[in-house]
Chains A and B, each alone.
Chain A
Amino acid sequence: MSSRTRVAVTGIGVKSPVGNDIQTFWSGLCAGRSTGRRLSVLDGMDVPIDFGCEVTGFDPSEYLDAKSIRRTDRTTQLGFAAAADAIADAGLTDIDAARCAVVAGSGQGGTKSLEDEFYALVKGGYHRVNPNWVPMIIVNATAALVSIRYNYLGPSLAIATACTSGAHAVGEGARLIREGSADIAVAGGAESPLAPLTISAFALMGALSRRADDPEHASRPFDVDRDGFVIGEGAGFLVLERWDHAVARGANIHAELTGYGRNSDAHHMTVPSPDGAGARSCMELSLRDAGITPDDVVHINAHGTSTPLNDATEAAAINQLFGPRDLPVTSSKGSTGHLIGAAGAVEAVAAVMAVKEGLAHPTANHVERDPKCEIDIVSGTPRKIARGPVISNSFGFGGHNATIVFAPSSW
């Protein structure tokens, strides 16, 4: 092990379609539970797709007072709650506020508020627009609210790299600790994109599954019958902590964040680079950063969106880098749908749980592997994995790539 600053994961929290606490989330993933359904929020709307993956049973008043709820978009409410759960899980008390950072990813920010107030403007004129609109829709709203509520005085940053936002936030949070800017980084992502304009646009560009007659089985990563992703909402946050800081305060260490790679396809706004060259290179960068070889990796939590193109390209990239061997690959999106800017963070939490439990959860709805995806997909039931590094991939519109490596704390 080099003398580089080590980064511990000491807290995790999620608000997701498959569960709002870690136990429910992980057991749902392991059961291969599917969450696609018709969205009542779209009732009466003229939309081409009317299903997605909602967070249910979430009450923001458990985390925020009435005024704060009125002044925040659902994206920020979900994000703040997941961050608060992660902070509680880490047991952070009596810490140096100036050494605490926040990094929050989101693809679009406060989507629902953004759309609602546009209608309000058109219908009632400018004086009917919510005066809280700007702080509700800005992409940095979640990062700001966490810093304000916890009085964290260190760097507070937002990252918007579409579907890679959450993974980039986690990786950049780790880098803040490595570079010495913070002892603790609360890092993750949040997104609530279930609003008519956004869903219509994603559908019109051909990204979404059209399986309206069977939404529960629409998100089916790497399956031969997949036809697009299922849009979802949620949030995931991790408390990252300088290793010796975590050890000194006797923190419970879930895993170590040992590597982070990020690069750009520099190819096309919505199409991955041919044969997954960018994805492959990104995974290689993460392994080099972790000081390991492809043979060391025991499990991959794939980006696996369930779109024809992503899954084939990602599978090709995995195949090229890791070769023909039994390397269990899963996609959490079979259960959660695609959480856009939250996806990479929620899946980072899933990867941490895989490291902790020694289990790869199955890819929900994966029935028959696409012959074009020549990788070992975990399906049906969870599979035991060896003690070792697990990687989590995220690739976003714009060609932004990120891979994070987690390892058991004593690996």
Chain B
Amino acid sequence: MDTEEIYQAVSEVCAEILGVSPDAVTASALLRDDLGADSLDFAELAMALEDRTGVSVPNGGFAHVKTIQDVVDAVRNHEYPVTS
């Protein structure tokens, strides 16, 4: 998946899981403050994104995400794990 496709998938899944308008889901939108996400939502997002993208983000992989862009980055980084 290219970044655009991942962004599209993240946007749609977040709108559905968080029950918000797709228009509100912008790259800089804050999941907690702008979109009303709580801790249970993050676990649901991980599962729904796995279904949608085939990328499995391990437990806690979304622990530090703040914005929609952070979610996109997390999915992309697990699709192409960074090797050091």
Residues of A in contact with B (beta carbons under 8 Å apart): 65-67, 70-71, 127-128, 130-132, 135
Contacts and interface: CB of A to CB of B under 8 A. Distances in A.
Given A67-B19, A130-B44, A135-B40, 14 more contacts: A65-B19, A66-B19, A67-B41, A70-B44, A71-B40, A127-B47, A127-B56, A128-B47, A130-B47, A131-B40, A131-B44, A131-B47, A132-B40, A132-B44
Interface of B: 17-19, 40-41, 43-44, 47, 56, 59
A67 B18 contact: yes
A127 B49 CA distance: 13
22 contacts: A65-B19, A66-B19, A67-B17, A67-B18, A67-B19, A67-B41, A70-B44, A71-B40, A127-B47, A127-B56, A127-B59, A128-B47, A130-B44, A130-B47, A131-B40, A131-B43, A131-B44, A131-B47, A132-B40, A132-B43, A132-B44, A135-B40
A252 B43 CA distance: 46
Task: Say whether chain B's binding surface is mostly helix, strand, loop, or mixed.
Answer: helix
Contacts of A66: 19
B50 to A, nearest CB: 8
Task: Say whether chain A's binding surface is mostly helix, strand, loop, or mixed.
Answer: helix
Nearest to B41: A67
A135 B38 CA distance: 14
Going nearest first, the 9 A-B pairs with the smallest beta carbon separation are A131-B43, A67-B19, A66-B19, A132-B40, A131-B40, A131-B44, A65-B19, A71-B40, A127-B59
B11 to A, nearest CB: 17
B64 to A, nearest CB: 18
A38 to B, nearest CB: 32
Most buried by A among B17, B40, B41: B40
Nearest to B59: A127
A225 to B, nearest CB: 49
Nearest to A71: B40
Nearest to B44: A131
Nearest to A129: B47
Contacts of B41: 67
A131 B45 CA distance: 10
Nearest to B50: A127
Nearest to B16: A66
Contacts of B19: 65-67
Contacts of B17: 67
A79 B19 CA distance: 23
A133 to B, nearest CB: 10
A129 to B, nearest CB: 9
Contacts of A71: 40
Nearest to A69: B19
A125 to B, nearest CB: 11
Most buried by B among A66, A131, A132: A131
